[in-house]
Structure 1
Amino acid sequence: MTYEETSAKQRTERFGMSHLSIEVGHLYADDLARPDTLKAEMASAAAWVHGTTEALSKRLGGRRPRVSTCYLVDDYSQQGMPPPEELIAVITEAAADAGLRIDYLARESACATMGPLQLAGLVADRIVFEPPPGANGSRPTVARSGWLCNGVPSPKAKGVAMVGQADQWRPPSQNAKRDHSVFLDVELWSDTAEGRRWSCPMLAAVWQLLRLGVLRNQGRRIGVPEAVAEVVPDEHGHDPDRPARARFPETWEAMPPILQLEPAAYPFPAYRTVSILSVNYLEVEHAVRVICGSVRPEASAIEIIRKSAEREGMVLPEELVDRLSYIFQGPL
């Protein structure tokens, strides 16, 4: 493994990148109660994966693109999730029936905490929000409030309007709007008696940044997948107390953050991402784009990826959010 020195004390890790990371699904526990729908979603995703890969090959001048696929399991907000052995079998069998290969499977809870690393907190600390013209300083900072917006919200009314006097209401305004505003205010977290609870958009933003390979902890890569053989090495056999066919730990907490299901898969991180999702996630991903557009990762990590892409004849958008693409599907 090679590194690039960015300071006397810190080096930024290099690693292989795919051209494209395709997310083929995001599973909630209640999806398992609809096996026919899950199969239909996999079949539809397979068609999009094949079409997207073919289109990318043409953009690369006929070269075979490096494309990896991934699947996200929501073990953060969902209760009663089946054990890994059962759930992985359901997902991989549905994918295989559709002619689709899933290279990586990730836990959403790992986007909050990955081992000893408070990952969502690390990303939140890298959010840079510059108040646009018109802001009056009355809104608390993102670090204090846990809210991030894409413009200037409506100002609070001052005092009580006199009888017969109209309230001087002003609408919110979006940054870089096109004629009209689409204003969005995103809740990143809430503080509860049990501790900080991260929102779905915040965790989904961490997930996208992991897939882009831009997150570092003091220069070191975050989110290195673990192969199945590393989780349950074949030569070690099985725990005699487990069912005979069980290969994986019994709880999701014991699973690696990112599991590499296919030994020959292309790298997990990629220059660009595509997410094939239900249309129900459209609002969440709008919020994700607001968050990702405000995160400033380590500059050395961004530069290494940019140069790597250029060596392959690819020019990446300057803004990270412009490297994210989506395919939203209606009810199947």
Structure 2
Amino acid sequence: MSHLSIEVGHLYADDLARPETLRSEMASAAAWVDGTTAALSKRLGGKKPRVSTCYLVDDYFHQGLPAPEKLIAVVEEAAADVGLRIDYLARESGCAMMGQLDLAELVAGRIVSEPAPGTNGSRPPVNQSGWLCNGVRTPQTPRVAMSRPDKWVPPSQNARREHSVFLDVELWNDTPEGKLWSCPMLAAVWQLLRLGVLRDQGRRIGVPASRSSVAPVEHGHDPESEGVARYPDTWKDMPAILQLNQKAAPFPAYRTVSVLSVDFLEVEHAVRLICSCVSPDHGATQAVRKAAEREGMELPEELVDRLSYIFQGPL
């Protein structure tokens, strides 16, 4: 396990049309990586922390991405120009389906929503409705002709502090092709992968594939030439998580930090609600906790409290 996993970017197809903005965002992320690593070193008593960085590519909602070989070259070149290290590159669609594993469905099956006070069963459960909330909606009662208007009742948050911040999150919607997972749901899976707490029948989920196993170097007719790495032609043939840096610290970490545009603030609010309701694999969480204790680290009991963010406005 690493001490910290830092997400240094989330790439959409249209970001490639703004190369200068992309470089500016990466330069800012590089500064945050340096600062966060230095702060963590102080918390560890001067020890060198194990910090890995990751970059998420949206190939789930946007199908117009360049081929992997071209896009990875663009991302790595832009990162190198500003001194940003990217250890791992991940596909967002891998948070939905990882190989033959329906990963988003697995995580959705572990969501345990907290029954709100006064619940009467009129709202379908999460696994039927695809909606998860942090409290009680405004009641919807049938109207009878010529009856008096019902008194409006506001929604309320379960664990409110004086006032409610009510949130209702759509986890998926149904399409002719099956479930279309929402951005918050996939982002929640992504955070849980980075925390290393997901298991499939006891097996760890989200083991990165090495670059050499995915893109073997071709030397052509000259075995002594430098050679060229050839990636698969399509993103669906790429691994869910690709290790770009051979010397990288481990992908999963005790805590995560995500350096994101402020546009993701609402999404991550929803992510935190989802993660707070997921009941993770007990064996996995115990293994992570014991590993941290051996290093003299105390982790928050709740997984959601291991997630941190740096939101950036327009650069």
TM over 0.5: yes
Deviation at 1:328, TM superposition (A): 0.5
Matched, 1:157 2:141: yes
Q: Specify the SS of the correspondent of 2:283.
A: helix
Matched, 1:273 2:256: yes
Whole-angstrom CA distance in 2 between matches of 1:44 and 1:136: 49
- Report matched runs for 1:309-320 at 5 Å: 309-320=292-303
Unaligned runs of 5+ in 2: 222-226
Is the 2:216–2:229 Cα contact (8 Å) retained in structure 1?
A: no
Pick closer, same or farther for the CA change 1:169–1:104 going to 2, 3 Å: same
Whole-angstrom CA distance in 2 between matches of 1:327 and 1:146: 29
Q: Which runs of 4+ in 1 moved over 3 A?
A: 160-163, 236-239
Is the 1:157–1:169 Cα contact (8 Å) retained in structure 2?
A: no
Whole-angstrom CA distance in 2 between matches of 1:293 and 1:110: 22
Give CA deviations for 1:217-251 in whole Å, capped at 9, x if unaligned: 011100100111111233x6579xxxx95521111
Match of 2:278 among 278, 295, 307: 295
Deviation at 1:196, TM superposition (A): 1.1
Deviation at 1:158, TM superposition (A): 3.5
What is residue 181 of structure 1 aligned with on the other side? Answer: 164
Whole-angstrom CA distance in 2 between matches of 1:204 and 1:161: 45
Deviation at 1:85, TM superposition (A): 0.9
Matched, 1:204 2:193: no
Match of 1:126 among 104, 107, 110: 110
Matched, 1:114 2:98: yes
What is the TM-score normalised by the length of structure 2?
Answer: 0.95
Give CA deviations for 1:95-116 in whole Å, capped at 9, x if unaligned: 1111111000000001000011
What is residue 170 of structure 1 aligned with on the other side? Answer: 153
Whole-angstrom CA distance in 2 between matches of 1:238 and 1:206: 40
Is the 1:152–1:172 Cα contact (8 Å) retained in structure 2?
A: yes
Whole-angstrom CA distance in 2 between matches of 1:216 and 1:87: 30
- Report matched runs for 1:1-332 at 5 Å: 17-160=1-144, 162=146, 165-234=148-217, 237=219, 245=228, 247-332=230-315
Kindly provide the amino acid, as one letter, of the partner of residue 268 in structure 1: F
Is the 1:214–1:302 Cα contact (8 Å) retained in structure 2?
A: yes
Unaligned runs of 5+ in 1: 1-16
Q: Specify the SS of the correspondent of 1:171.
A: coil
Give CA deviations for 1:281-331 in whole Å, capped at 9, x if unaligned: 011000100100000011111111011101111110010000000000001
Whole-angstrom CA distance in 2 between matches of 1:329 and 1:23: 13
Deviation at 1:130, TM superposition (A): 2.5
Kindly provide the amino acid, as one letter, of the partner of residue 50 in structure 1: D
- Equivalent residue pairs, number: 310
What is the TM-score normalised by the length of structure 1?
Answer: 0.91
